[in-house]
Amino acid sequence: MFEFKKTSHQLRQRIFFRVLVAAVLACVLLGILGVRLWYLQVVRYEGFAARADQNRIAVIPITPRRGEILDRNGEVLARNYRDYTLSVVPASLGEPVDDMLNRVGELVELSPRDRRRFKQNAAQNSRYSEILLRNNLSDDEAAWFAAHAFKFPGVTLQARWVREYPHGESAAHVLGYVGRISEGDQQRLEETGQTGNYRGTQVIGKKGIEKTWEKTLHGRTGIEEVEVAASGRPVRTLSRVDPVPGASLRLSLDIGLQKMAEGLFAGRRGALVAIEPSTGEVLAFVSAPSFDPNLFIDGIDVENWRKLNDSPDHPLINRPLYGTYPIGSTYKPFVALAALETGKRKATDRISDPGYFEFGGQRFRNAGGAVYGSTDMHRALVVSSDTYFYSLGPEIGVDNLHDFMKQFGFGQHTGIDLDGERQGILPSTEWKRKAYRKPAQQRWYAGESISVAVGQGYNSFTVLQLAHATAVLASNGIVRPPHLVTQTLSPHDPEIEQPVRIDAKLIPLKQANVDVVKQALVDVVRQGTARRAFAGAAYQAAGKTGTAQVFSLRGAKYNANAIDERLRDHALFMSYAPAENPKIAVALIVENAGWGGSVAAPIVRKVFDYWLVERGQMQ
């Protein structure tokens, strides 16, 4: 009996001990859990709350509408329209790409070009990049795909703004184009701290005004915070910051004049720039042949790219801005003015022109072997005597000529609001020392100044520079940088215009010397090398023809029919009108077309007739 009571007591003690240990253990575990809960809900509250919001809230960028580009009269040159697109993130696909393409193709039409372009872009970008599959979906196609979108993870239906150039090839080199943001573009955005403003944006300005005025045209990206369910389905909008549309731009370009001038090239290669001398505004900017910028918006296909890139006519090159040429006799008015301003020769001084200029035992002949006899500066410009200007080269000297011509913008960046302008070559003794490595080549020889004085030799200028210099001469030495954008238009109220300020400066010239040259240019049109082109004009123009040699004949007689077409001389003309009160200044080159008087001058006559007579700009 006693033993039983003792055993029962021990058993109760063991049970009590076990219960006590379990209670202590439970309290410890509850304490640990309580501490952990306190740590998670108090100490780490802010961090976890933010992460929870990130899972719960989707931040969606809202792409701003790109600003439009208008001509001087309000004609739209670049605009936007709404478009439905299908985009794919390859990393999010749950199946092979070809299977996805086949299944999507059952709902919306996918052409072989769409498939090919998608695969090319996918190969060139990260698997996590959004790749365009199809654009320009109809409303029916968009609605049909939206109803079945849950079957296609990684494929997104989107509405976007699409750029359009309604005039096609006209003014393409001015406007440029937009294209998909490349890795290089992305890197530049990161370097300039603009990445955030391009979230959700797929395109960026690549060339022309679209590139140089990208910041103004793009606008500011908006943000929408959306609460989403665990499945990713939007539940409600929490907040929204509306995007700010890009500002529109008004150009000085006149699309009517632009198209008319482009048509005058009729399949020829060349460039033309027309400037309003009193403002520096560019009225026309022709690069022939041209291209259709609409091809580049979503990435140009291989076939069209090859046609453009492999063409011997190089339609993608911006000839007025990037092409550099010897400008021949159109350089002579400025050489004559340099001679007067430096005091190397008076306008009344006469030289004998036997048809050639002899220097160092070598004869430099007039074009066509012409002989002009006793010639002063006025006659030399009117008949385009090479001998007269050959003789000026060594007298003025290349360095004096360089310093004078630099003021007119030759061999300099004009500062036009387009990207990619070439400087060209305005030779000097210093330039030659830097351009060549061998000491014998670095030396400037007096004979080299002879060809430079007639616009040949090392001279290499853009048509834009020649047009700018012509406008400066027409303005009696007032330098107004050429420009295209004249106003920015408020995205909220198009009636609010912000003019673009252009500063002018004056070249210190003697007006009497300027008058000598300008009177000679009037007589070039009245009775000289451009008289036939301007016969019967309703206004008085002033100008100078030019023919620039492409390659040396080494003393042989020039015969256009005996040499390859692309080795024939370039035809040039620089002019302004009306002579007494210039409203327009033009320079152009027609590549490999021969004489400036017979090819280039008639083009300018038609440009002047259109602008001054048909459009009533003479007053």
Contacts of residue 76, Cβ cutoff 8 Å, sequence gap at least 6: 68, 69, 70, 166
Q: What is the pLDDT of residue 301?
A: 82
Which one is predicted more confidently, 442 or 44? 442
Q: What is the pLDDT of residue 551?
A: 47
Say if residue 595's pLDDT is above 60. Answer: yes
Supply 67's token pair: 């600003």
Task: Calculate mean pLDDT across residues 342-362.
Answer: 92
Say if residue 7's pLDDT is above 70. Answer: no
Q: Hey, CA dihedral for 431, 437, 443, 444, is it positive or negative?
A: negative
What DSSP assignment string belongs to 114-127? HHHHHHHHHHHS-T
pLDDT interval class at 225 (50, 70, 90)? confident
**Identity of the highest mean pLDDT range in 143-157, 185-199, 283-297:** 283-297
- Weakest mean pLDDT among 12-16, 96-100, 110-114, 525-529: 12-16
pLDDT interval class at 554 (50, 70, 90)? very low
Q: What percentage of the chain exceeds 70 in pLDDT?
A: 90
Say if residue 558's pLDDT is above 50. Answer: no
pLDDT interval class at 49 (50, 70, 90)? low
Q: How far apart are CA 277 and CA 584, in angstroms?
A: 6
pLDDT interval class at 106 (50, 70, 90)? confident
Say if residue 563's pLDDT is above 70. Answer: no
Q: What is the pLDDT of residue 44?
A: 63
pLDDT interval class at 234 (50, 70, 90)? low
**Tens-place pLDDT, residues 131-157:** 888 888 888 888 888 888 888 888 888
Say if residue 406's pLDDT is above 70. Answer: yes
Say if residue 71's pLDDT is above 80. Answer: yes
Average pLDDT, the chain: 88
- Weakest mean pLDDT among 31-45, 80-94, 216-230, 305-319: 31-45
Which one is predicted more confidently, 261 or 6? 261
Q: Is 468 exposed, middle or buried (0-12, 13-18, 19+ CB in 10 A)?
A: buried
Contacts of residue 429, Cβ cutoff 8 Å, sequence gap at least 6: 398, 399, 444
**Tens-place pLDDT, residues 72-99:** 999 999 999 888 888 888 888 878 888 8
Q: How far apart are CA 306 and CA 267, in angstroms?
A: 20
Q: What is the pLDDT of residue 262?
A: 97
Supply 519's token pair: 């009177």
Give catalytic residue positions. Answer: 329
Q: What is the pLDDT of residue 235?
A: 65
pTM of the model: 0.83
**Identity of the highest mean pLDDT range in 2-11, 178-187, 413-422:** 413-422
Q: How far apart are CA 575 and CA 504, in angstroms?
A: 21
Q: What is the pLDDT of residue 380?
A: 96
- Weakest mean pLDDT among 167-176, 494-503, 509-518, 573-582: 494-503
Long-range contacts of residues 518-521, Cβ cutoff 8 Å, at least 24 apart: 518/473, 518/474, 518/542, 518/579, 519/378, 520/333, 520/336, 520/377, 520/378, 520/381, 520/382, 521/333, 521/381, 521/575, 521/579
Assign 3-class secondary structure to 34-51: HHHHHHHHHHCHHHHHHH
Task: Calculate mean pLDDT across residues 477-505.
Answer: 83
Q: Which among 370, 327, 572 is positioned nearest to 461, based on CA atoms?
A: 327
Q: What percentage of the chain exceeds 90 in pLDDT?
A: 57
Q: What is the pLDDT of residue 52?
A: 52
- Weakest mean pLDDT among 301-315, 389-403, 407-421, 481-495: 481-495
Q: What is the pLDDT of residue 226?
A: 73
Number of residues assigned to the chain = 619
- Residue 174's identity, in one-letter code, is V
Q: What is the pLDDT of residue 37?
A: 76
